[in-house]
Amino acid sequence: MQKRRLGKSDLEVSALGLGCMGMSHGYGPPGDKPKMIEVIRAAVGRGVTFFDTAEVYGPFTNEELVGEALAPFRGQVVIATKFGFEIVDGKQAGLDSRPKHIREVAEASLKRLKVDAIDLFYQHRVDPDVPIEEVAGTVKDLIREGKVKHFGLSEASVQTIRRAHAVQPVTVLQSEYSLWWREPEAQVLPALEELGIGLVPFSPLGRGFLTGKIDEHKAFDSTDFRNALPRFTPEARKANKAVVDQLAAIAVHKNATLAQIALAWLLAQKPWIVPIPGTTKLQRLEENLGSAALELTSDDLRAIDSASKITVHGARYPEHLNRMVGR
């Protein structure tokens, strides 16, 4: 597995990471724990060194899973986790990035992850009630104390990134970026390049849609959060199949899967981009990691670019969640 450096930092990780959220949260019932540990450890065996979790995934259970699975590899892998949500009675209950809360989350995450320091600590969503300078300053203190190694932001605006970076250098921005969500290209990517900040795209496969295995007839589990996303209504899925159909021809030409085309395209955009596709299946893990070896020519990239310019139907989030991104 190739390595990539995230921005101008000294944080070097595998070209593809593993997003672990779906093993415990968001996409239906939690996976079988022994099987999820097997997938995580299989990723390590195949050269993956970058793993993504958060306290709110579960809540808490995903960090515990990742901590247990990666305990034998301490010092060999990079684990990213996140703070910024208030959790009440085991449920997400709004934002909370007050300095005291950040410290409490850090201490709890260290224990669940079974590590002495958090490799990468993201603010999960920007809290409008807490100045970003206070957030960055708190993480700066945690870095000084040896409890955190790197500071990250998630779904933040360019203005917020700049303000935070002036207090404590931001190593990574994690935001959605894929062939069906290219909005970061307008302002975010140029700012990251200027500042020397890496990008970790989450949902690089469009929450599964870019694999070509989801159509308007697909039924999601009642606990799957895609049920609440406008982009995943049956009508939107039917309309958005045009994107997948266009990419399918390119995949056939390259003797690759749709998922591999989508991931290889992301890797080709910038050398400081590290996608974190998630999966609960060994077969899909192998498929996703195969994208790192897929070479796309300039003609391939032009064809993919043209294919993905089709209008995507449906907002990526309902309004109450849309308000939490791009602050």
Q: What is the pLDDT of residues 222-235, one digit of tens each?
A: 999 999 999 999 99
pLDDT, one tens digit per residue, over 151-176 is 999 999 999 999 999 999 999 999 99
| Locus of tokens 């949500």 | 85
Residue 307 has pLDDT above 90, yes or no: no
Closest CA to 90 of 69, 59, 116: 59
In the chain, where are the structural domains located? 3-208+269-294
Task: Quick: pLDDT tens for 255-272.
Answer: 999 999 999 999 999 999
Active site residue 317: no
Does 134 have pLDDT greater than 90?
yes
Q: What is the pLDDT of residue 51?
A: 99
* Radius of gyration, CA atoms only, the chain: 19
Q: What is the reported pLDDT for 310? A: 86
What is the mean predicted confidence (pLDDT) over 74-82? Answer: 97
Strand 18-19 relative to strand 12-14, pairing: unpaired
Burial class (CB in 10 A: 0-12, 13-18, 19+), 253: exposed
CATH class of segment(s) 3-208+269-294: alpha beta
Which token pair is 162? 């700049």
pLDDT at 308: 86
Q: What residues form DSSP beta bridges with 19?
A: 52, 278
Task: From the candidates 27, 57, 122, 177, give the one annotated as an active-site residue.
Answer: 57
143-155-209 Cα angle (round to 5): 125
Would the pTM of this model clear 0.85, i.e. be above it?
Answer: yes
pLDDT tens digits along 7-60: 999 999 999 999 999 999 999 999 999 999 999 999 999 999 999 999 999 999
